[in-house]
């Protein structure tokens, strides 16, 4: 019996020694990065290091010493390995996301499952390391927090393969979230970066201009259109053929004609315009002043709209701007919240950092301006402002698969009020095979 135990222990040491040495070296390297690169707290960094050492070493001890001694050991082994491997991969390299809304159609569609490359712009090290595996900020069943802030690390990003460029499709944590969550636990958004740090952005008649030059238009960008037909609908087959998913239909009083509001790409616009049932098709352009206080920076001084926006300077790290009444509402939240100067304030026509009067400010981070390709149906930077570099998660890489959802509306009775209301629902209706493994551009 003693001989068997000794042979088992020798086998364990032989199989795991190299792996554990490599893991410890990598884990120790991460510890040094946290301490000297991110300037993270010493105690928190050491605890984080020890947690991962215990987890990995404990897993190998279980695998080679205890797995074979009870039923279901292989299943436990597989689950432990999957949790550890997936956590490392999701944190450092790639992660799978689902598109929940139509703000990026037709470039990305509701039901797309895509991989996000976290290495492209440099992996952002976790800022909230104590969290439940596979959960973002909320537990799926209980609805409670899926993380603890007992240990918190400052923002730090490893070197990447490049920087964000105009036109990149980027996943980021929504900066305007007001739930009090840590940066890396805020809701994930996906949009196209239309302006990078140092750019001056303008939107003129729906067309983005960067530093005075019109954008390279995304191939499947969409706008809202009002379509009038001669009393007939364009038909389910027509909508499916051209993947026209966002539309509402109503009748025109006193006539047999119908009016449709549709989100259309340039290609779909041509298809609809050429349909024999269409009488007219008009773009729903929002003129200057049509923002009702809903657009960033939320004041009457900037009479911008979704289609006539700016000019707006996008802050760049190290650049100094002179503070005035025009740019104060634009950069106030940036300075106070994103760059953590909560003592920044305006008194009359003067600006203060605490009790010290200042006339200019130097930005501490790069910022980006994000917009959805579904330009009239996207809640983006036009509504809530800049995306700081510490909120960037990674670059949208490719679509793994895509599920088509069929929407339907029905009248139901509200159990609280007893009133009838329209309820919209959707259910999977197939797989979009033409989108499987499609690269995101």
Tens of pLDDT, residues 359-413: 999 999 999 999 999 888 899 999 999 999 999 999 999 999 888 876 655 566 6
Q: What does the pLDDT average to over 188-217?
A: 94
pLDDT for position 256: 66
pTM: 0.87
- Any domain includes 350: yes
- Any domain includes 24: yes
- Any domain includes 110: yes
d(Cα 196, Cα 408) in Å, to the nearest integer? 40
112 and 171 together in one domain: yes
- Any domain includes 418: yes
pLDDT tens column, 411-424: 666 666 666 565 65
Q: For residue 209, what are the CA distances in angstroms to 199, 233, 415?
A: 10, 37, 50
pLDDT at 6 over 80: no
d(Cα 97, Cα 120) in Å, to the nearest integer? 16
236 vs 196, more confident? 196
41 and 58 together in one domain: yes
Helix, strand or coil, per DSSP, at residue 353: strand
355 and 393 together in one domain: no
pLDDT for position 168: 95
Residue appearing with tokens 């944590």: 173
10 Å CB burial of residue 19 (0-12, 13-18, 19+) is exposed
423 vs 29, more confident? 29
162 vs 16, more confident? 162
109 and 172 together in one domain: yes
Provide the percentage of residues in the chain whose pLDDT is more than 70.
89
267 and 349 together in one domain: no
Work out the pLDDT band at 15, boundaries 50, 70, 90: low
10 Å CB burial of residue 53 (0-12, 13-18, 19+) is middle
41 and 106 together in one domain: no
Chain Cα centroid distance, residue 162: 19
Sheet (strand 350-353) strand order: 344-347, 350-353, 356-358
Residue appearing with tokens 């920076």: 297
d(Cα 350, Cα 324) in Å, to the nearest integer? 8
- Any domain includes 208: no
d(Cα 125, Cα 391) in Å, to the nearest integer? 12
116 and 165 together in one domain: yes
Helix, strand or coil, per DSSP, at residue 417: coil
Helix/strand/coil percentages in the chain, nearest 5: 30, 30, 40
- Any domain includes 305: no
CB 391 within 8 A of CB 399: no
- Any domain includes 133: no
CA-nearest of 107, 100, 436 to 267 is 107
Residues assigned a catalytic role: 103, 191
Residue 267's CATH number: 3.30.70.260
pLDDT for position 431: 86
d(Cα 268, Cα 277) in Å, to the nearest integer? 15
Work out the pLDDT band at 62, boundaries 50, 70, 90: confident
- Any domain includes 187: yes
Q: What does the pLDDT average to over 101-112?
A: 86
pLDDT tens column, 273-306: 988 888 989 988 888 876 667 899 988 788 899 9
98 and 178 together in one domain: yes
Q: How many domains does the chain have?
A: 4
78 and 115 together in one domain: no
Q: How many residues does the chain have?
A: 441
Q: Which domain holds residue 265?
A: 222-283
241 and 262 together in one domain: yes
Residue 174's CATH number: 2.10.109.10
Quickly list DSSP for 3-55. HHHHHHHHHHHHHHHHHHHHHHHHHHHHHHIIIIIS---HHHHHHHHHHHHHH
pLDDT for position 1: 44
258 and 234 together in one domain: yes
345 and 425 together in one domain: no
């Amino acid at each position: 019996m003693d001989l068997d135990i000794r042979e088992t222990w020798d086998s364990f040491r032989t199989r795991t020694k190299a792996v554990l040495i490599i893991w410890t070296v990598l884990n120790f390297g991460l510890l040094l990065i946290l301490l000297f690169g991110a300037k993270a707290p010493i105690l928190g960094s050491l605890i984080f290091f020890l947690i991962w050492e215990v987890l990995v070493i404990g897993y190998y001890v279980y695998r080679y010493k205890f797995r074979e001694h009870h039923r279901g050991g292989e299943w436990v082994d597989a689950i432990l390995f999957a949790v550890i491997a997936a956590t490392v991969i999701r944190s450092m390299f790639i992660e799978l996301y689902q598109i929940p809304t139509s703000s990026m159609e037709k470039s990305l569609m509701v039901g797309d499952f895509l991989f996000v490359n976290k290495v492209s712009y440099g992996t952002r090290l976790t800022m909230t390391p104590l969290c439940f595996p596979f959960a973002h900020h909320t537990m799926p069943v209980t609805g409670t927090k899926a993380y603890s802030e007992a240990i918190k690390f400052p923002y730090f990003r490893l070197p990447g393969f490049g920087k964000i460029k105009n036109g990149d499709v980027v996943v980021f944590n929504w900066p305007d979230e007001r739930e009090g969550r840590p940066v890396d636990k805020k809701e994930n958004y996906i949009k196209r970066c239309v302006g990078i740090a140092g750019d001056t952005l303008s939107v003129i008649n729906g067309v983005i201009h960067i530093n005075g030059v019109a954008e390279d238009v995304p191939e499947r960008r969409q706008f809202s259109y009002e379509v009038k037909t001669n009393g007939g609908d364009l038909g389910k087959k027509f909508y499916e053929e051209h993947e026209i998913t966002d539309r509402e239909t109503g009748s025109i009083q006193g006539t047999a004609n119908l009016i449709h509001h549709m989100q259309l790409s340039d290609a779909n616009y041509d298809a609809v315009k050429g349909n024999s049932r269409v009488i007219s098709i008009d773009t729903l352009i929002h003129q200057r002043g049509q923002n009702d206080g809903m657009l960033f920076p939320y004041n009457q001084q900037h009479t911008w709209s979704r289609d006539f926006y700016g000019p707006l300077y996008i802050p760049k790290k190290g650049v100094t701007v002179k503070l005035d009444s025009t740019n104060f509402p634009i950069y106030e939240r940036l300075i106070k919240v994103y760059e953590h100067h909560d003592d920044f304030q305006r008194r009359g026509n003067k600006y203060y950092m605490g009790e010290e009067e200042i006339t200019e400010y130097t930005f501490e981070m790069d910022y980006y301006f994000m917009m959805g390709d579904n330009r009239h149906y996207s809640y983006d930077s036009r509504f809530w402002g800049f995306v700081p570099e510490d909120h960037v998660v990674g670059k949208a890489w490719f679509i793994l698969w895509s599920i088509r959802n069929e929407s339907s509306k029905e009248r139901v009775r509200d159990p609280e009020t007893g009133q009838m209301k329209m309820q919209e629902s959707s259910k999977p209706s197939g797989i979009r095979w033409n989108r499987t493994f499609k690269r995101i551009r």
